[in-house]
Amino acid sequence: MAARTLSRLSKALLAPALALGATVGLASAPAQAAVWNSCDQWGNTTLNGYILYNNIWGSGTGSQCIWANSGTNWGVWANHPNTGGIKSYPNAKKVINKPITSLSSLTSNYNVTVPSSGAYNTSYDIWDTAYKYEIMLWVNKTGAVGPLGTSQGSVTLGGSTWTVYKGNNGSNEVFSFIRSSNSTSGTVNILPILKWIKDTKGWFGNVTIGDVQFGYEITSSSGGLDFTTNSLTVSGG
């Protein structure tokens, strides 16, 4: 299980210097020239209403580069050593900024191409505006990775069946939903999941949902692996 002593948010705010190496290449770049790319630890840009973020936040990291043709078609090449601990969470973020009871819908479609080796998960990372609550939705996982906290059983919500874990990383509450089977494409109806946490479990109140992020939580990718978001949409309001 990958321990989180600090959240990705806390790590990002600390922003320590990181030597990424002199020979980093964009191995995952598509045939056409990407609109944007970066090998910087905190490299980020905004495209088509999505904020793209390289986000190398862990310790003992290797090299990682992000490229994008748009905010919804992007990818990462990462070469992180085969050691424990989360190294990065490259992602695309859509800002919502609405209380749960003000949302009439919140859905997302995803289509990804991910490696068969390494240790990582493909996940949504959803935050309230106060960054007190983190809701993770793992749509696939490979290798020695696992969620924080203890199992709360299984539930069918938002179009999938999930095993739910509840924990705290010292900075915020974490609710992780692990899909019962790996998926590389599909639709997630996020709003019923948020309402289940709020109304059925009472784990938070009518919080304001700030960020809906989608990306790859990478623990190891030794030798260099490609992660590609072929398409992504987050919609609702």
Domains of the chain, earliest start first: 8-236 (2.60.120.180)
Reported as a pLDDT band with limits 50, 70 and 90, residue 23 is very low
Buried-state track 69-104, b at ≥16 Cβ within 10 A, e below 16: bbbbbbbbbbbbeeebbbbbbbbbbbebebebeebe
Q: Is the pLDDT of residue 2 over 80?
A: no
* Strand stretches in 54-142, DSSP E: 63-70, 73-79, 91-99, 106-113, 119-128, 133-142
To the nearest whole percent, how much of the chain has pLDDT over 90?
Answer: 85
Which residues face 42 on adjacent strands?
none
**pLDDT tens figures, 133-145:** 999 999 999 999 9
**pLDDT tens figures, 87-127:** 999 999 999 999 999 999 999 999 999 999 999 999 999 99
Q: Is the pLDDT of residue 20 over 60?
A: no
User: What's the average model confidence in pLDDT over 15-32?
Assistant: 41
Q: Is the pLDDT of residue 15 over 70?
A: no
**Smallest Cα–Cα separation from 214: which of 174, 187, 181?**
187
Helix H or strand E segment including 195: helix 190-195
To the nearest whole percent, how much of the chain has pLDDT over 70?
Answer: 86
User: What's the average model confidence in pLDDT over 66-79?
Assistant: 98
Q: Is the pLDDT of residue 16 over 80?
A: no
What distance in Å separates the CA atoms of residue 102 and residue 130, rounded to the nearest whole number? Answer: 17
Q: Is the pLDDT of residue 29 over 70?
A: no
Contacts of 118 (CB under 8 A, 6+ apart): 142, 143, 218, 219, 220, 221, 222, 225
pTM confidence score: 0.88
Instruction: Give the neighbor-by-neighbor strand order of the sheet with 63-70.
Output: 36-38, 63-70, 73-79, 225-236, 106-113, 185-189
User: What's the average model confidence in pLDDT over 171-185?
Assistant: 98
Q: Is the pLDDT of residue 155 over 70?
A: yes
Cβ atoms of residues 175 and 165 within 8 Å: yes
| pLDDT for res 32 | 52
Q: Is the pLDDT of residue 158 over 50?
A: yes
| pLDDT for res 5 | 37
Helix H or strand E segment including 13: helix 8-14
Contacts of 68 (CB under 8 A, 6+ apart): 34, 35, 36, 37, 45, 47, 52, 74, 75
Q: Are strands 36-38 and 133-142 parallel, antiparallel or unpaired?
A: unpaired
Cβ atoms of residues 70 and 154 within 8 Å: no
Which residues face 66 on adjacent strands?
38, 76
